Structure 1
Amino acid sequence: MNQTLSVILPAHNEAEYIQDCARALLASAPLPAGWQTDVVIVANGCTDTTVALANGFRDAAEHLGWSWKVLDLKQGGKLGALQAGDATATGTIRAYLDADVQLDPDLLPQIVKALSADVPLYASGSPRVSRASSWITRAYARCWATLPFVTTGVPGFGLFAVNAKGRARWHDWPDIISDDTFVRLSFAPTERIRVAAGYTWPMVEGFANLVKVRRRQNAGVDEIKRKFPELMQNDDTPGVPLSGKFRRLICDPIGFGMYVTVSLAVKTPLFRDKSHWARGR
């Protein structure tokens, strides 16, 4: 009997990104024998051409034997999009994908293999930051991409997946800032799997946006500490020792300097943004 991988893709005004994301998704290598693919794109509160562009890939998906559903929700908000996507999806394995991410062809097959076990599991790929337009973001990203959390952890930003027993760890999606952090911390480090295949993920452009998004990420972690303190026992985010900081300073003084500058600016009262929706980190 066939089993199903569901890819749930919330999209809010993603006309700039959705086509590249869909093309990369449809270029995925075949899943292991006995598996089929169910894609649920949840356009929420879109005022651009996201819905039309997403619907334009239906024939290509059906040619591959994939199910391709596009939901057009009038109300924006990632929480509602995740709830609607889960309610529509049929898969025993569920991958939650951001619309600005481009997957490597081997990533979904590797995730299915990693999660094909009768115990709760979480998986993601090896992330790469796409080349930014601004030198500020490029410099920041160079240092950020060397952090142990990024290079050896299973951070899950842009893409994470769980099997059926893993999805049973929570019921409805909580109304919180950082859904990806909530899911990651719902699993012990030994239950999280990083596969070799990767994906490309963009950072926001410019100093002010980097500070806003970094501040919001920090606020998301603080919110989880308040609302779900029991999850923090699963936080294994490694710090960077002094020797590692010195090495980064010597190897890339501009990148290290920009990363430190953004980190310090996050602690100032500037760049406040109370929205729950943010691209990149």
Structure 2
Amino acid sequence: MDASVRCVLDIKAESGETPVWSVAERKLFWVDQEAHRLNGFDPVGGINESWRMPAHVSSFALRGAGDRIVVALRTGLFDFDRASGALHPIAAPPPYPVETHRYNDGRCDRQGRYLIGSVDLSYFQTKVPGNAAVYRLDGSGLTEVIGDITCSNGMAFSPDGRTMYLADSPAGVVYAFDYDIATGTPSNRRVFVERDRDDGIFDGAEVDATGGYWVCLLMKGAVARYTPDGRLDGEIPVPVLQPTKLAFGGPDLGTLYLTSAGHRHLPGDQPLGEQAGGVFAIETGFRGIAEPTYRF
């Protein structure tokens, strides 16, 4: 698959994640999880604004331009006021033991509900899978909608919003679900794609306007595109070992932005890449779909 890849922000993030393009603000918002920072990057001016969080921040959901941002910290879900820096709790305490779990990958569905998964960090010692979940935040509060996973990643929605994708990274599987757009409820869990972990570990993902599923291959240094029927359409090599998540952005949503990690996630001696932890722009010839804002 032909594509050009360039680093647009060589920031050496420890664990860059969760890029989200704001159409209203023309900025790429993203987090550095381990550095506890939420960022807003203006690719035209090359300026990156950063806000320090009091705990590990994994994901977030934008509201309107300049409005508060829903942030998923290890300690809970909060509304973050950019003007004052204040955090306001918006949900009950985390629905998991904070000693062993934290929130992980998340995003809004097409209707503006915020779905956020968790990861069971104790798995990496115990090797007991299936003790994490995915939750939905909406006007009814926080509700568990998917269980029996170990590390939630690769969350994305089809263009019509009726198919939800979710990767369980340790299992080497991306699942597809039927998604009820009226209630925000996934069902009919099935395997969408599987991959040997020695050939890349599924991480963050995005869907293009034609329904293609793009997913980062951690520890392989590549991004893969799968067709809606689960066929591998191609891979794009990237200059970092640990690509983490993707988001279409730019004026016409034609640029695929990629975050990456500068801190080594797994043991090994493979080079991480000189620009590890940077934010990259990939020109693929595909266009994305505007990310919905949180509306509940």
Tell me if both proteins adopt one fold, taking TM over 0.5 as the criterion. no
Normalized per residue, the structure richer in helix is 1
What TM-score results when the alignment is normalised by the length of structure 1? 0.27
What TM-score results when the alignment is normalised by the length of structure 2? 0.27
**Greater CA radius of gyration, 1 or 2?**
1
